[in-house]
Chains A and B, each alone.
Chain A
Amino acid sequence: MKKQIALTVNGVKRELLVNPQDLLLNVLREQLGLTGAKYGCGIGECGSCTVLLDGEPILSCMTLAVAVNGSEVTTIEGLLGSDGSLHPIQESFLEHGAVQCGFCTPGMILMAKNLLDKNPHPSEEEIREHIRGNLCRCTGYTQIVQAIKEVSLTRKA
């Protein structure tokens, strides 16, 4: 019944045995102990479970693990530098107070990374548009948008 799949998670190759109905979110959290992706709604309405699949954001609560066999997955834990250093986006989130309870933060930061990888200097409008599916109940979004904008400004073109 179980199926073997191979994923590259945060740069490390992992062979996993999963049930056909297992969600990527649960495989990451329970089998791999990567709890940075969160359960917020389970039905694609909050963005707390966002991870990057081959660089593109997906909702891991809506994704079957077997369906992404062979892909590369980046979770928030994968942004930690090998020397323990912060990614510039994380640093900017801290400086702008964009982290309150922090529950939406992993999803937000991965969305920001995806945006800035594709578009190093997005407008405020583009930033807001990009994170529209990620809910945050604490910050009121302003500090998050500012944090993302600031990274794009300080980056060399």
Chain B
Amino acid sequence: MNGKDDFKIIGKPIPRHDAWEKAFGLTTYAADFSLPDMLHGKVLRSKYPSAKILSIDTTKAKRLKGVQAVLTAKDVPRNESVTRFGQTHTVGGGFEGLYRVLADNKVHFLGEAVALVAADTEEIALKALDLIKVEYEPIPGVFDPIEAMNPNAPQVQEGRSNIITHYEVVRGDVEKGFSEADVVVENTYRVQFVDHAYMEPESGVAWIDENGVITIRVSTQVIEHFRGIADVLNLPHNRVRVIGTYVGGGFGGKEDITVEAFLALLTYKTGRPVKLTYTREESILSHSKRHPYVMEYKTGAKKDGRLIALKARLVSDAGAYVYLSPWVLLYSMVDAPGPYRIPHVRVDGYTVLTNNTFTSANRGFGAPQVCFAYESQMDELARRLQMDPAEIRKINYLEKGEALATGQVLNHLVALKETTDQVLQVLGEKPLSKGKIRIGRGIASGMTSYGRMIFLHDTSRSHVSIEMDGSVTIRTGVQDIGGGQASSLCQIASEVLGVPLDHIKIYIADTALTPFAGTTTATRQLYMSGNATLIAAQEVRKTLIQKAARMMDLDPERLNLVDREVVDQGGSGKNLPLTEVIKACASDGLPLYHVALFKAPFRTLTQFERIEGDVFPDFTFGTHGVVVAVDEETGKVQVLKIVSCFDVGRAINRLSVEGQIEGGAIYGMGYALTEEVILKEGITLTPSFSEYLLPTSMDLPELETLLIESGDGVGPFGSKGVGEPSVCSVAPAIANAIYDAVGIRINELPLTPERILKALRKEENDENPLSRHR
């Protein structure tokens, strides 16, 4: 069962079990669920990015017929606590930020929640919002993270510095390194706020069950927020239950608490079921965004292309609340030098509070930002040294056994040369430019971790049981956010137990009934819960095989489970129906189930200022190659082709893996070209999809997806995670292709026609004809 070719289910392109119901329109997403006597919740949000709340008058709203509750901060049993994301102990190092349910005497960003309403209908709830009178006194805010670092800048949160965290990564002596460099490239890169823009807005329904338990059925990536929600209500943790629905897209935006605490409060106060769904505008205004960064990069190399020194300073805009900002920054710190061998490194990183929308997890979690910088730097170095961009990378790629700047040794294959070679091969010859339409090609490589930072002591549990008729049940607290998380687990159990996929049923994401499996974030579910499910299934298998061996009077080593039979592979021709073995086990009182606990390797970080040693369990490596057409007249960029190649370790479900990589390529293309949440003095100027521009089917380039299966990942069957890595290097590949097409480099995302035209004009006026390169 170990050789790749022996797999029956693993690696096959199998339609996912959840896809059937979805294609019928039968999946009950969070907002599709209703209960009798249900109320409708609405949130009153701040109109200012920075203001004092002088008073809130709810009398009129409360008097409106049909209104059942109007709540403000003073009605919340515990309005302030700390943010947690499934970690079971306090990490320190700034990792636990302030969690405030409702603004009390100040609002810190536009759209911050100020009051809650529950009413008989949505219309009445909306009317009630209008009747709440909030008196604000606008006060100066700060909207630029660099300005916010100034000690004299307005303080975003009372009693604390705007600088949340400073981290550093140091290797060798960076100044000495630059003194030995033959060429040094220095640039400042800027990346923007980005919305997750999942098609399903935040939503949930809460009720109190017959045992008095506050039950919340919600679209979330983290059901284990139930603890934090119980803290808000000052209830024991076992009095709050969270049921996760199939999620209509997460991408990190449903990693923080969204509607849950509001729902819990409203149902707790009214005793009635409550539904709350955000409008699209509300979603864009009020939930987390991807962090904008300002990244100063200085990279030095020898004449032959070998990197010798890298110095970087990263400043990320955390917005008005801490949430996951220190975590995201830490990812950026580790990834900042890129997957390259550099003897002298110094990286400083800051994450800073401003009065902008708060920022938190977004697919890639700090990796795509720095990848844009380090991969633009690599192409600039190649140009300065007149080297081929692929060649200079190949000279410097890290290899298995080498260490990152933090000292973490890469113990698994680093398939960067391989992915780059494959991408180049498929990319083919560059098409010819025609007139004002210039064609360019670019590549970029990236590294993205999968699995959580190891000092979080990550664990997952899975319960696998086999029924009397040979059907299999999996129970695990996994949230399925559309990536096939649940379905992959069914494939693993099917493979191990020799039971067809349609005989497997999985129950997921219920804090009362499924064992905790942790968050669906950090590209960790296949790795963590895949391993837990693998172990659980193997234990059940062991019980069955041992029993069958006694029944058949054969060595257990010879037996295999195939198609609901125990088969002797030793050539005796004997076999036994699985159901007979199950019956025999049951009458012997043998366990026909196993609950497995999978523990990621962990260690405790003793100090956070300087990041040293192992931080992640492993990384996924890959390369993107793109072909673009740039219209010199309009500045418009059309991406003609994206080739993605990743070492996925092992494809558990080929369809799902390819789907992740293709979806990731387009997600990255949106990041590169059109997507930006524009904030002006803290005011969101892009609160709808006519201003926030997502890629559509018309922007679709030709996509090619190539998989390398090294079998050298830490997931089940040697798999690696690919959900987030798939986004990482798309944007710099596009920027590099634009450079190749028109000879200009734009260091700021998104790469809009305006920016490109401006740069082209500037080049035209430039005296020095050599500065523009083709």
Contacts and interface: CB of A to CB of B under 8 A. Distances in A.
Interface string A112-140: 00000000000000011101111111111
A63 B27 CA distance: 24
A95 interface: yes
B279 A42 contact: yes
A22 to B, nearest CB: 10
Contact of B689 (A29, A103, A106, A135): A135
Interface string A66-85: 00000000011101100000
B666 A141 contact: yes
Q: Which of A76, A80, A137 has the most CB of B within 10 A?
A: A137
Nearest to A36: B25
B694 A38 contact: no
Nearest to B666: A140
Contacts of B13: 97
A106 B249 contact: no
B23 A97 contact: no
Given A139-B663, A143-B662, A46 B26 contact: no
A106 to B, nearest CB: 4
Given A38-B199, A39-B31, A77 B23 contact: no
Interface residues of B, number: 57
Interface stretch (A1-9, A52-60, A86-94, A149-157): A86-94
B79 interface: no
Q: Which of A35, A80, A132 has the most CB of B within 10 A?
A: A35
Given A40-B280, A43-B280, A135-B696, A97 B199 contact: no
Nearest to B482: A101
A137 B689 contact: no
Contacts of A138: 249, 482, 659, 663
Contacts of A45: 280, 688-690
Nearest to A87: B23
Main secondary structure of the interface of B (DSSP, over half): loop
A41 interface: yes
A103 B248 contact: yes
B29 A135 contact: no
A41 B18 CA distance: 24
B199 A48 contact: yes
A77 B27 CA distance: 11
A93 to B, nearest CB: 5
B491 interface: no
A59 B207 CA distance: 32
A76 B667 CA distance: 27
Contacts of A20: none
B604 to A, nearest CB: 36
B435 to A, nearest CB: 22
Interface stretch (B161-169, B697-705, B708-716): B697-705
Given A35-B28, A41-B280, A140 B201 contact: no
A139 B662 contact: yes
B507 interface: no
Contacts of B688: 41, 43, 45
A141 B697 contact: yes
Contact of B22 (A99, A131, A132): A99
Contacts of A65: none
B23 A100 contact: no
A100 B15 contact: no
B753 interface: no
A33 B556 CA distance: 53
B158 to A, nearest CB: 36
Contacts of B18: 102
Contacts of A29: 32
B199 A136 contact: yes
Contact of A39 (B19, B277, B481): B277
Interface string A4-18: 000000000000000
Given A99-B23, A139-B659, A131 B249 contact: no
Nearest to B283: A41
A24 interface: no
B716 to A, nearest CB: 20
A136 B662 CA distance: 12
B259 to A, nearest CB: 14
A27 interface: no
A136 B249 CA distance: 10
A128 B695 CA distance: 12
B200 interface: yes
Nearest to B27: A102
A77 B199 contact: no
B198 A93 contact: no
B197 A137 contact: yes
Contacts of A94: 15, 19-20, 23
A14 B23 CA distance: 24
A101 B703 CA distance: 20
B335 interface: no
Contact of B198 (A90, A103, A109, A128): A103
A132 B200 CA distance: 18
B696 A132 contact: yes
A97 B656 contact: yes
B662 to A, nearest CB: 4
A76 B25 contact: yes
30 contacts: A35-B28, A35-B29, A35-B32, A37-B25, A46-B280, A48-B199, A77-B24, A80-B24, A94-B23, A97-B656, A99-B23, A100-B483, A100-B659, A101-B200, A101-B481, A102-B18, A102-B23, A105-B23, A127-B697, A129-B698, A131-B697, A135-B197, A135-B694, A135-B696, A137-B199, A139-B663, A140-B667, A140-B695, A141-B696, A145-B697
Given A102-B18, A143-B659, 5 more contacts: A29-B32, A46-B199, A46-B689, A101-B200, A137-B197
